[in-house]
């Protein structure tokens, strides 16, 4: 498992970067087990996740996405609030303040057919209530991520592109999506987020990314941490999302993990 010079990428210019692990083996194993329990419907803290996109009894080969697992389990909470984690995110984003406002587990068992595909998207397309600056996603590898396990893959410098409206995380027809991308940017460079367990990738909310099938025997597990910095700004929206960011006032849901 090797990505040549992986630490050379620049978050602001390239749209993503990779960071070495700052987690102990124990922290990783505890969080991995915590996420497994959440998938199995066991919520140690007594709080349910914000939303489950996979229910017990659903296709076991399908991608399992559950929102805000950090509120359900103490080890998952400990992982994403580790002070050293806050410090490295602040350093990488050149920020004075890092607040986690959302998270997801994306657990990808060995795939069958297109069951493991997450379509091309940029995170900002799902966040009408946020400005486009100061919003990032950290992806913590809770297993080794090889080129065959369906790593998150990033389009180099796509954070500098205009929006491509037809793309979507939930669209598993990656060939059709590639054609759409071709019609906008024929020439593009894709970098796989090949990570050793504990390592972290960060991408901006504007970076196009996706992931394809897991052909390894073991699940590929990512703890996805969405965070904002002092550069972010709330945007007033109407409808069901109008109050969504009120949770920023609740430290038990949206912890500040670094502040200068
Ligand atoms: O883990 C994946 O395969 C997709 C993750 C993703 O879309 C994200 O981190 O924003």
Ligand 1 atom at minimum distance from 209 CA = 7
Residue pair 115/240 in contact (Cβ under 8 Å)? The answer is no
Does a structural domain hold residue 131? Answer: yes
| Residue 1 counted as domain residue | no
123 within ligand 1 shell (Cβ under 6 A): yes
As a whole number of angstroms, the distance between CA 248 and CA 225 comes to: 15
Report the pLDDT value the prediction gives residue 2, as an integer from 0 to 100. 57
**Would 179 be classed as within a structural domain?**
yes
Which residue, judged by its Cα, is nearest atom 9 of ligand 1?
A: 224
Residue nearest ligand 1's atom 1 by CA: 106
Q: Which residue has the tokens 């909470």?
A: 77
Task: Check pocket membership of 213 for ligand 1, CB cut-off 6 A.
Answer: no
d(CA 149, CA 194) in angstroms, rounded, equals 9
Determine which residue's CA is closest to atom 7 belonging to ligand 1. Answer: 210
CA separation, residue 156 to residues 146, 162, 190, 193, 205 (Å)? 19, 14, 6, 12, 14
Average pLDDT over residues 39-57: 98
Mean pLDDT across the chain, nearest whole number?
96
Which CATH number do you get for residue 130?
2.60.120.620
Q: Which residues constitute the domain of residue 132?
A: 6-259
CB 122 within 8 A of CB 158: yes
Helices (H) and strands (E) in the chain, counts: 5, 12
Tell whether 121 is covered by a domain: yes
> From the CA of 28, how far away is ligand 1's center (Å)?
18
Q: Is the pLDDT assigned to residue 1 strictly greater than 80? A: no
How far apart are the CA of 209 and the centre of ligand 1, in A? Answer: 7
| Mean pLDDT in residue range 148-174 | 96
Nearest to 51 by CA among 260, 240, 251: 240
CA 152 to ligand 1 center in whole angstroms? 6
CA 223 to ligand 1 centroid distance, Å:
9
Mutate to test the pocket of ligand 1, among 18, 130, 137 (most ligand atoms within 8 A of CB): 137
| pLDDT in the model for residue 236 | 96
pLDDT of 190? 96
pLDDT band at 252 (very low <50, low <70, confident <90, very high): very high
Instruction: Kindly report, residue by residue over 101-139, the tens digit of the pLDDT.
Output: 999 999 999 999 888 999 999 999 999 999 999 999 999
Cβ proximity of 69 and 76 under 8 Å: yes
Assign 76 a pLDDT band (cuts: 50, 70, 90): very high
Range 76-96 average pLDDT = 98
- Contacts of residue 51, defined as CB under 8 A and 6 or more positions apart, other chains included, come to 66, 67, 68
Could you report the per-residue pLDDT of 163-204, keeping only the tens digit for each? 999 999 999 999 999 999 999 999 999 999 999 999 999 999
pLDDT for residue 114: 87
- pLDDT (average), residues 48-75: 97
Number of neighbouring beta carbons within 10 Å of residue 61: 16
Question: How many folded domains does the chain comprise?
Answer: 1
Would residue 94 count as lying in a domain?
yes
Residue 125 C-beta-side C-alpha neighbours within 13 Å? 17
């Amino acid at each position: 498992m090797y990505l040549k010079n992986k630490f050379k990428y620049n978050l602001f210019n390239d749209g993503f970067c990779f960071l070495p692990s700052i987690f102990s083996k124990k922290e990783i194993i505890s969080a991995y087990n915590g996420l497994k329990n959440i998938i199995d419907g066991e919520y140690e803290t007594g709080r349910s996740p914000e939303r489950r996109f996979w229910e017990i009894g659903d296709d076991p080969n399908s991608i399992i996405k559950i929102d805000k697992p950090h509120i359900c389990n103490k080890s998952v909470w400990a992982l994403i609030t580790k002070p050293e984690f806050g410090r490295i995110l602040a350093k990488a984003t050149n920020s004075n303040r890092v607040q986690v406002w959302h998270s997801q587990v994306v657990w990808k068992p060995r795939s069958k057919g297109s069951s493991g595909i997450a379509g091309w998207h940029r995170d900002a397309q799902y966040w009408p209530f946020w400005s486009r600056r100061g919003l990032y996603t950290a992806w913590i590898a809770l297993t080794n991520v090889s080129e065959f396990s369906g790593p998150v893959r990033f389009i180099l410098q796509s954070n500098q592109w205009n929006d491509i409206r037809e793309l979507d995380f939930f669209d598993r027809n990656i060939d059709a999506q590639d054609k759409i991308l071709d019609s906008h940017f024929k020439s593009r460079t894709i970098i796989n987020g090949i990570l050793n367990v504990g390592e972290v990738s960060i991408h901006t909310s504007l970076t196009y990314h996706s992931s394809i099938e897991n052909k390894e025997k073991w699940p590929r597990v990512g703890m996805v941490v969405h965070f904002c910095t002092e550069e972010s700004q709330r945007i007033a929206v109407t409808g069901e999302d109008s109050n969504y960011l009120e949770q920023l006032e609740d430290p038990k849901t949206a912890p500040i993990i670094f502040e200068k």
